[in-house]
Amino acid sequence: MKRRHVVLLIAVAVLLVAANLVFFVVDETEYAVVTQFGEPILAITAPGLQWKWPEPIQGVQLFNNRLLVYNSDKIEFLTSDKKNIVVEDYVAWRIADPILFLKSLRERSRAETRLADVIASELGTALGRQELSALVTTEPAATRLPQVLDEVTRRSDAQIQPYGMRVVDVRLKLLNFPEKNKVSVFSRMKSERERQARKYRSEGAEEAAKIRAEAERDQKVILSEAYMRAEKLKGEGDAQAIKIYADAYGQDPRFYKFLRTLESYQKFMDEKTTLILPATSELLRYLNEGQGPPGAAPASRPAAASSVTSKSALQKSAAPGRGDP
């Protein structure tokens, strides 16, 4: 009985070893290549349980079928306008043909070495045809870097396909100047920014002067229109006043002349006024006729050539005249 159990255990162990040698599992993230005496004969791309003849007749090699990323080292290139730049790139790639990959490269490290050589060559060629201003600029419409990287991706993919690989994308992590050139480059950038700032300030000053000129012109137009309207109103007022004066004069010319003469006395005479007038002056007519009403006949006056009258004398003479009417 014990012997039967031992035989059964040995048979199960043999079956397990045989199954392990014959059957294998392909993960959904892997490709499997079955080799016969070291030569690849079958590529399995579908996941699941597979079988093969046991070794050494047949073997199996597993490869990652996911998107892989390779980060290159910093490389210095020269642009078309003789500017040195330092570039660090990364490449997204994958294994497209596992049998071809196994025949040509076999390992991921060798694949990445070959990939680095191809990418460096294509980057150097593409960047060498571009000026620095097309790669580094503050104007998005002027940059050529995306087109350059798309071209590098396309050309690198064409070169790497014979190895069973595909280049999906090439992008830059770093684009900088060499340390020895940074000071001069930054000085040029500073000068360029200062020149641009001066240009903007000049344009701003020009625009400000234009705005001020327009404002001054509008001010003059407004003031001239206001002055013209004021003069018009003033003229209309003067005309109205003249009309009123004319109407008043027409009603009683002598009384109107009398009132106007009294108004003129108030305007040009005060405590410090001294007048030197001839005795026959029209201005002194009502002062000399103050003893009678405005309509009375004037008193006889001497025909003297002139007289000197102080303000006090004028006031004494004018007082009865003002009270008379």
Q: Domain of 115: which CATH number?
A: 3.30.479.30
Distance CA(269)–CA(114), nearest Å, equals 118
Strands (E), the chain: 23-26, 30-36, 39-44, 48-51, 58-64, 68-71, 75-78, 84-95, 165-176, 275-277, 307-309
In a domain, 156, yes or no: yes
Query: Look-up: residue for tokens 């344009």?
Result: 203
Residues 88 and 152 grouped into a single domain: yes
Task: Give the pairing type, strands 48-51 and 84-95.
Answer: unpaired
Q: Which of 141, 176, 211 is the last residue of a domain?
A: 176
- Of 64, 84, 103, the last residue of a domain is 64
Cross-strand partners of 89: 172
Are 164 and 81 contained in the same domain?
yes
Whether 45 maps to a domain, the answer reads yes
Please check whether residues 129 and 111 belong to one and the same domain.
yes
In this prediction, residue 325 carries a pLDDT of 35
188 part of a folded domain: no
The confidence score (pLDDT) of residue 320 equals: 41
Residue 205 lies inside a defined structural domain of this protein: no
Which residues lie below 8 Å from residue 46, measured CB to CB, with a gap of 6+? 26
Q: How many domains does the chain have?
A: 3
Report pTM: 0.55
Write out the two tokens for 17: 């070893």
Q: Could you tell me if residue 10 is inside a domain?
A: no
**Do 286 and 265 share a domain, yes or no?**
yes
Q: Which domain holds residue 112?
A: 68-176
Domain boundary (25, 40, 64) is at 64
What's the confidence (pLDDT) of residue 318?
A: 41
Tens-binned pLDDT, residue by residue, of the chain (325 aa): 577 767 677 777 767 776 677 888 899 999 999 998 888 988 998 888 888 888 888 889 899 999 999 999 999 999 998 888 899 999 999 999 999 999 999 899 999 999 999 999 999 999 999 998 888 887 888 889 999 999 999 999 999 999 999 999 999 999 888 877 777 777 877 888 899 999 999 999 999 999 999 999 999 999 999 999 999 999 999 888 888 877 877 777 777 777 777 777 777 777 777 777 777 777 666 666 654 444 444 444 443 333 333 343 444 344 444 334 3
Cis amide prior to 325 (ω within 30 degrees): no
In a domain? residue 222: no
168 and 112 housed in the same domain: yes
- Flag whether 207 is in a domain: no
Query: Could you write out the three-class secondary structure of 119-160?
Result: HHHHHHHHHHCCCHHHHCCCCHHHCCHHHHHHHHHHHHHHHH
Q: Are residues 168 and 260 in the same domain?
A: no
Which two three-digit tokens encode residue 41?
């004969």
Amino acid at 170: V
Q: What is the chain's percent helix, strand, coil content, to nearest 5? A: 55, 20, 25
Per-residue confidence (pLDDT) for residue 295, from 0 to 100: 45
